[in-house]
Amino acid sequence: MNNGANNTVTAEKKKKVLSLIQPTAVPHIGNYLGALKNWTQMAKDYDCVFGVADLHALTVRPDPALLRRQSLETFALLIAIGLSPEENIVCVQSRINTHAQLAWILNCYTQFGEASRMTQFKDKAANQADNINVGLFTYPILMAADILIYQADYVPIGEDQKQHLEIARDIAERFNGLYGKTFTLPEPFIGKVGARVMSLQDPTKKMSKSDPNPKSSVSVLDSPDTIMKKFKSAVTDSEAEVRYAPGKEGVNNLMSIYSGCTGMNFEQIENAFAGKGYGDFKTAVAEAVIEELKPFQQRFKELMDDKVYLNECIDKGTEAATAISRRTLDKVIKKIGLL
């Protein structure tokens, strides 16, 4: 008689990924194509925690009503892109008190010199000289707590956040060295690379939510008419030929966006628009973006019209995230001698 246990294939445990998004502004099409669009696949391949980093938003002292609304919208946005709250942990950072508790403990295991070297603090302090608060300075330690509390193996980060991941690793290594293996050392997440989207008005710069020129970026919640107008006013060149080449940054950018929405490669795009002018191409790019965002925008609207369901989802995420993060915090508390 065969032992059934011998025939059982143990599934490989999925690696953990943490990704939080600040609720300070509506994401643009660059955020969507470069990262958000890939999160649904990432959720299938990894054990993921997604969340709204509302505590991080406090460093700029936002208007309370605006922060509350934007936090709810950002949470709805995460579900609207396809992150089912039944299959994923989707949460709001401030609702999970373990983050702030661990952040204080990690403050005591971070050297002042380490925190002082964070270049993003210097940049942000220069931009808000009248409000250089301690939260702005300890921001990376809260980020470290966000990551380490879930024992994340990977964290998707941009170029400007490499230092923050490095300090999280340094803190974890220091703590592990003192008390034994407690935290997983996180690595940068290298997943599918999305389109690198540049400004529609200055294609030598990345598209940015903070750009003062409203025509430079396309929000994921822009109306079809607004999207069409912005793409029709996009900077190109005088050559009037749709091809990917050095010196044609404006056209290259539009081709990247079109490729991200349609799946066509650059050669296919060049062939499809051979003999056609930029007017036709800009219209086609706008239509592709509108079509890409249509189901997302529809789902977002449905969610925002059902606040009861949204709050139920937040409660579900809070419960799941607290249960996981509490295990790490309890381990830390025991190791450092707190009752």
| Residues 267 and 323 grouped into a single domain | no
Catalytic residue flag (residue 124): yes
- Whole-prediction pTM: 0.88
> What confidence score (pLDDT) does residue 2 get?
47
3-state secondary structure string, 57-68? HHHHCCCHHHHH
Residue of 15, 124, 215, 316 marked active site: 124
Six-digit token pair at 22? 């600040």
Residue of 13, 16, 44, 206 marked active site: 206
DSSP assignments along 18-68, one per residue:
EEEE-SSS--BHHHIIIIIHHHHHHHHHSEEEEEE-TTGGGGG---HHHHH
Say how many domains are in the chain.
2
The predicted-structure confidence for 243-280, as pLDDT tens digits, reads as follows 999 999 999 999 999 999 999 999 999 999 999 999 99
d(CA 13, CA 47) in angstroms, rounded, equals 9
Determine the structural domain holding residue 40 and report its residue range. Answer: 15-193+307-336
| Residues 243 and 121 grouped into a single domain | no
The predicted-structure confidence for 153-168, as pLDDT tens digits, reads as follows 999 887 667 889 999 9
The predicted-structure confidence for 201-212, as pLDDT tens digits, reads as follows 999 999 988 888
| Residues 169 and 275 grouped into a single domain | no
d(CA 299, CA 60) in angstroms, rounded, equals 30
For residue 149, is pLDDT > 60? Answer: yes
| Residues 99 and 34 grouped into a single domain | yes
CB-based burial label for 243 (10 Å; 0-12, 13-18, 19+): middle
For residue 233, is pLDDT > 60? Answer: yes
Which residues partner with 326 through β-bridges?
none
Q: Is residue 238 part of a domain?
A: yes
Catalytic residue flag (residue 192): no
> What confidence score (pLDDT) does residue 326 get?
98
The predicted-structure confidence for 66-103, as pLDDT tens digits, reads as follows 999 999 999 999 999 999 898 899 999 999 999 999 99
> What confidence score (pLDDT) does residue 38 get?
87
Q: For position 327, which CATH number holds?
A: 3.40.50.620
